[in-house]
Structure 1
Amino acid sequence: MPIALFALTLSAFAIGTTEFVTVGLVPTISSDLNISVPSTGLLVTMYALGVAIGAPILTALTSKYNKKYILICAMVVFSLGHVVAALAPNFTTLLIARIVTGLTHGLFFSLGATIATSLVSKEKEASAIAVMFGGLTVAMVTGVPLGTFIGQNFGWRETFMLISILGSVAFIGMAFLIPKEVRTTTPAKFFQQLKILGNPRLLIAYLITIFGFGGAFIAFTFLVPILQDITKFSPSIISIILLVFGLSTVVGNFIGGKLADVFGVNKVLFGAYFCLSMVLLSFNFFVQNQYITIVILILWGIFAFGSSPALQANVVKLAKINEPHAVDVASGFNISAFNVGISLFSFLGGAIVTNMGLVQTILFSSGVVFSSLFLIWIGYMINNKVVLSQTN
């Protein structure tokens, strides 16, 4: 793989740390700022909303500019935003800082995915995206457990300051390793790019991302409170469990990318989300058993993040065929879909916690993920129909 891919991976690592570390800091921030756990969950929801807005809109607005420099600028703002978060005097300021950094996250991944595929041959596109997304999953292994440990023992502000430093290292790495010019298509006009939402094949692909990947966040947003209050793990053990969970996401990410290249994205997505829904259903029944819970979390990480490269590769492939002048924006809409799902279902999770309790979030997650199987089937039928009509 080209070394430029690993520059993208480095940036993805910093972004992945901040995206998921907040889940581990929910109880700490809630206690320090004297706000409820569901309200603290808005830090996850609003960050995801920032990503959802930033991915397609900022990508379309910056499509005429040099992609390397746009990525660097995004990471500079990302780093400064975390300084503001670390120094935030109140919850409102912290929430605004999370939204701003979410905007840069969306822009980075929408451009990064298309740059990653442009650096390799067609048959290696899913693997290239898996390498970039590997930064997210490696962050789950090291960044998130470390950030959670620092937050629980030294303070959540120190965690955000550490992420700012990671972001600074990342944009320096991109400045040296990413080539100035990369192979991309000529962008269409702004409103022409946004018309891709009218393409049914891409729209179905985005819905699969929202329900399949996002559905698990009904429970995942409140995973640490579940492990503390229901499974009765101590905070120190939870940090280790998050490390193990992170390792499983790395395994799932790279296996998912390889399998998507070999068997195709539809088979990988159907298998991953069927298994994930069953794993979550099992968690609902065994949440009080510490040993079984650890096994379930390992499987959760493998199946949930094994789908990520396939989801993104699917959209990039469909866009190159159906919307060749708006591939970056199509990619951006899928990054948006990831985070619309996270935002929507983490918000739903907060409502479920408030009205029904923590455990019920697990069963709802299982049901939503299972519903994505129907969308995968629809997408498969639509794409096959198009191929057959073109053949005839």
Structure 2
Amino acid sequence: MPIALLALAIASFGIGTSEFIIMGILPDVARDLSVSIPRAGLLVTAYALTVTLGGPFVAVAAGRLPRKTALILLMGVFTAGNVACALAGDYWMLLAGRILAALSHGSFFGIGVVVAASVVPRERRSMAIALMFSGLTFANVTGVPLGAMLGHWAGWRSTFWAIVPIGLISAAALVAFVPKTEKPAEGDGSLADFRILGRPQILLTVAISVAGSAALFAVLTYIAPLLTSTANLSQQVISVALLLFGVGNFVGMLAGGRLADWRQMPAILGLLGLLVVIYASFAFTSHATIPAVASMLLIGAVSFATSPGLQTRAIEFAPEAPGVSATLMQSGFNLGNALGAWIGGMALEAGLEYGQLPWLATALTVVALVIALASVALERRNPKPQFAA
């Protein structure tokens, strides 16, 4: 493994921890800043929307810089955002810190994906991207729970202070290990880079990501009440299930990278088809402890296994602006997160029971599979261009 991938993985670990840690310390934040839980929850929404809407524009703004320089500056923005969160004296300063940190998120992963693909042979690109994103999935297993424990013990600000040295270490690793190149992060570093949005294959690939993540979060957002209502699981068992979900993310990401390097679209189609079966089965397995916990492991693994192939596909269809394309994938994933939570909530308000949410996830995954089949059909008529990282 090129050591540059380790530097990118460390950075993705820090970013992943920062993104998701707020959920574990939300009650502490709300109580300390004297705001309601729903208002504190806007800290999650604001972060996701900033990644979705702001990421591509930040990627374009960084377009004239060499990729290594862009990554280091973005990690500096990320670190500054977490310092602002740690120093926040009121809700609005904390919100501003979260938005500042989020501005670096999508574009860092977008440019990082291109760098990861450039340091390995063509046939190992998806695995390299998976190794970079393994830091993000590993954050769900270790960084987030440990950060939440620290926040409960020493105050929620200590959690953000703990992320700051991760940002500094990541920046130092990027300086030391990412190859120096004068090649810019993007095409011409202007809004003209958004012309790739007129390319059907880019839109289809982003749409697969949106539908797939919406399916996941339609269930995951409400997983605690779902497992409580169907299998009467205790909070301790639900915590174990979520831990195994995180382990599945890590394993699935790496396995998905290897599969995508072998056969990209057959792997994506097969994984989406398998997800349809897993979600449909979860409507039944969620009613018993061991099958429910095992299903969480499978959902975590297979849902994240599609990511490396989709990321690789996005940059291959946008050789003149790969960083913007990869950043759009991050926007799509975060948009899907928000849509899945909203669709699941609307369905529950309309009378759907928690135990029926897996059927909703099944339907959304079928949508993702249909889009993927349309992408394959289009590629047969118009083969992908050659991407030279």
Residues 237 and 128 of structure 1, relative CA distance in 2, 3 Å threshold: same
- Deviation, 1:93, is 4.0
Instruction: Tell me the distance in 1 between the aligned counterparts of 2:78 and 2:4.
Output: 20
**Which residue of 1 is the match for residue 325 of structure 2?**
330
Gaps of at least 5 residues in structure 1 are: none
Helix, strand or coil at the partner of 2:9: helix
Instruction: Tell me the distance in 2 between the aligned counterparts of 1:209 and 1:348.
Output: 16
**Which residue of 1 is the match for residue 106 of structure 2?**
106
Which one-letter code corresponds to 1:113 in the other structure? V
- Deviation, 1:67, is 2.1
Residues 340 and 256 of structure 1, relative CA distance in 2, 3 Å threshold: same
Which one-letter code corresponds to 1:215 in the other structure? A
**Which residue of 2 is the match for residue 368 of structure 1?**
364
Mapped contact 1:145–1:240 kept (Cα < 8 A): no
Give the alignment partner of residue 334 of structure 2, picking from 332, 335, 339.
Answer: 339
- Deviation, 1:314, is 0.8
Mapped contact 2:218–2:344 kept (Cα < 8 A): yes
Instruction: Tell me the distance in 1 between the aligned counterparts of 2:44 and 2:186.
Output: 35
Question: What does the per-residue CA deviation read over 1:252-309, in whole Å, with 9 as the maximum and x for residues that have no partner?
Answer: 0111000111122x22222222222332333334434322221011001111111110
**Which residue of 2 is the match for residue 7 of structure 1?**
7
Which one-letter code corresponds to 2:111 in the other structure? L
Moved more, 188-197 or 40-49: 40-49
**Which residue of 1 is the match for residue 69 of structure 2?**
69
Which one-letter code corresponds to 1:206 in the other structure? V
Question: What does the per-residue CA deviation read over 1:157-214, in whole Å, with 9 as the maximum and x for residues that have no partner?
Answer: 4333322332222222212221222656872351321111001111111111111133
Mapped contact 2:81–2:99 kept (Cα < 8 A): no
Residues 146 and 363 of structure 1, relative CA distance in 2, 3 Å threshold: farther
Mapped contact 1:118–1:183 kept (Cα < 8 A): no
Helix, strand or coil at the partner of 1:181: coil
Mapped contact 2:134–2:254 kept (Cα < 8 A): yes
Helix, strand or coil at the partner of 2:110: helix
Which one-letter code corresponds to 1:319 in the other structure? A
- Deviation, 1:41, is 4.5
TM-score (norm: length of structure 1): 0.87
Moved more, 8-17 or 220-229: 220-229
Gaps of at least 5 residues in structure 2 are: 385-389
Instruction: Tell me the distance in 1 between the aligned counterparts of 2:25 and 2:346.
Output: 19
Question: What does the per-residue CA deviation read over 1:319-365, in whole Å, with 9 as the maximum and x for residues that have no partner?
Answer: 22xxxx21221222122212222233234344455665755544433
Instruction: Tell me the distance in 2 between the aligned counterparts of 1:89 and 1:127.
Output: 42
Residues 366 and 87 of structure 1, relative CA distance in 2, 3 Å threshold: farther
* Aligned positions of 1:233-272 closer than 5 A: 233-264=233-264, 266-272=265-271
Helix, strand or coil at the partner of 2:318: helix
Q: How many residues align?
A: 382
* Aligned positions of 1:211-290 closer than 5 A: 211-224=211-224, 226-227=226-227, 232-264=232-264, 266-290=265-289
Identical amino acids, percent of aligned pairs: 33
Mapped contact 1:14–1:139 kept (Cα < 8 A): yes
Q: Which runs of 4+ in 1 moved over 6 A?
A: none
Mapped contact 1:44–1:343 kept (Cα < 8 A): no
Instruction: Tell me the distance in 2 between the aligned counterparts of 1:351 and 1:109.
Output: 31
Residues 309 and 176 of structure 1, relative CA distance in 2, 3 Å threshold: same
Mapped contact 2:64–2:188 kept (Cα < 8 A): no
Residues 337 and 182 of structure 1, relative CA distance in 2, 3 Å threshold: farther
RMSD over aligned CA atoms reads 2.8
Mapped contact 1:53–1:103 kept (Cα < 8 A): no
Moved more, 347-356 or 366-375: 347-356
Instruction: Tell me the distance in 2 between the aligned counterparts of 1:123 and 1:183.
Output: 22
Mapped contact 1:109–1:332 kept (Cα < 8 A): yes
Helix, strand or coil at the partner of 1:387: coil
- Deviation, 1:16, is 1.5
* Aligned positions of 1:29-48 closer than 5 A: 35-36=36-37, 40-48=40-48
**Which residue of 1 is the match for residue 387 of structure 2?**
none
* Aligned positions of 1:1-392 closer than 5 A: 1-25=1-25, 35-36=36-37, 40-152=40-152, 154-181=154-181, 187-188=187-188, 190-224=190-224, 226-227=226-227, 232-264=232-264, 266-320=265-319, 325-352=320-347, 356=351, 359=355, 361-387=357-383
Which one-letter code corresponds to 2:270 in the other structure? G
Mapped contact 1:270–1:376 kept (Cα < 8 A): yes
Instruction: Tell me the distance in 2 between the aligned counterparts of 1:164 and 1:222.
Output: 31
Mapped contact 1:21–1:147 kept (Cα < 8 A): yes
- Deviation, 1:386, is 1.2
TM-score (norm: length of structure 2): 0.87
Moved more, 247-256 or 350-359: 350-359
